[in-house]
Amino acid sequence: MKKSILISSLVLGLSVLSFGQRRFTVLEVNGGISAIQGDLQDQIIGFKNVNPSFSVTMHTRASKSRSFSIGGGVELNTLNHFYSSPNRSYYDQTEVEGYHFNAQVSGRLLLTGRDDVRFMKGAFYTYLEGNAGMSYISVQSTYPPAETFSKLGEEVETHTEYKPSVGAALGFRYYLTYNLGVNLRFSGKYVASDLLDGVEGITDVNDYLFTSSIGMSYAF
């Protein structure tokens, strides 16, 4: 009888320990806004280039690590801009329509929070992320001025590119339950393209993409 109780207790203890230390996966769905730092912004003219952003990511805790996870995701940003200048400059009234799609692999370093599913409810997590991937950019633009009086549509050429990207992010997550959490994320991405703002060649520097987003996560 005592032997049976001892064996049962040992099995139960190992099960709890295994549950508490097992790796788990986190699925995130985020939505927010993105902005471009590109050629026309460097000309210090007025611009309206804040656009919606949507992303889905998945990360799994790396083997034998309590603070590092690996994974990847996809991100979609619209690239709809309208540039205006009070001085009626060369770039005035430039219109851009398009989108940016990115697929990436990433690694996350846990800065705060305990990597133990038994303590996830009510836990606050902070992480730092580095990522690298490929971007697909598709835009129509009324720049250069020779096309200024053309309307965006079939008569304006669509420019497309595939380019590599690297980025970093700072994220925060609060778990409402043992599985469900809310996210806040700030990220920056360098894309080896000068097309994100629909204008090429004004400066020698490629464009940057900055995103702020909120969303939900599910751990399993």
212 in Cβ contact with 51 (< 8 Å): no
* Residue 142 DSSP code: -
Residue 139 vs residues 62, 82, 152, 159, 162: alpha-carbon distances, Å: 38, 13, 10, 5, 12
Quote the pLDDT of residue 195. Answer: 82
Length reported for the chain: 220
Q: Are the C-beta atoms of residues 105 and 73 closer than 8 Å to each other?
A: no
Regarding predicted confidence, which is higher, 95 or 147?
95
Taking residue 83's Cβ as centre, other Cβ atoms within 10 Å add up to 25
Q: What pLDDT shows up at residue 3? A: 47
Contacts of 6 (CB under 8 A, 6+ apart): none
Report the C-alpha gap between 63 and 9 in whole angstroms: 27
Domains recognised in the chain with CATH numbers: 24-219 (2.40.160.20)
Out of 125-134, 184-193, 198-207, pick the least confident.
Answer: 198-207
pLDDT score of 80? 86
**Range 190-197 average pLDDT:** 87
> Amino acid identity of 215?
G
Q: Would you state the pLDDT for residue 75?
A: 97
pLDDT at residue 180 in the model = 92
- In degrees, rounded to 5, the angle at the alpha carbon of residue 184 between the alpha carbons of residues 73 and 191 is 45
Q: What is the pLDDT of residue 11?
A: 40
Q: How many CA atoms lie within 13 A of 213 on its CB side?
A: 27
pTM given for the model: 0.79
Phi then psi dihedrals of residue 25, to 5 deg: -115, 140
CA distance 104 to 57: 9
pLDDT tens string 144-186? 655 444 555 556 778 899 999 999 999 999 999 988 999 999 9
Which pLDDT band, with edges at 50, 70 and 90, does 17 fall under?
very low
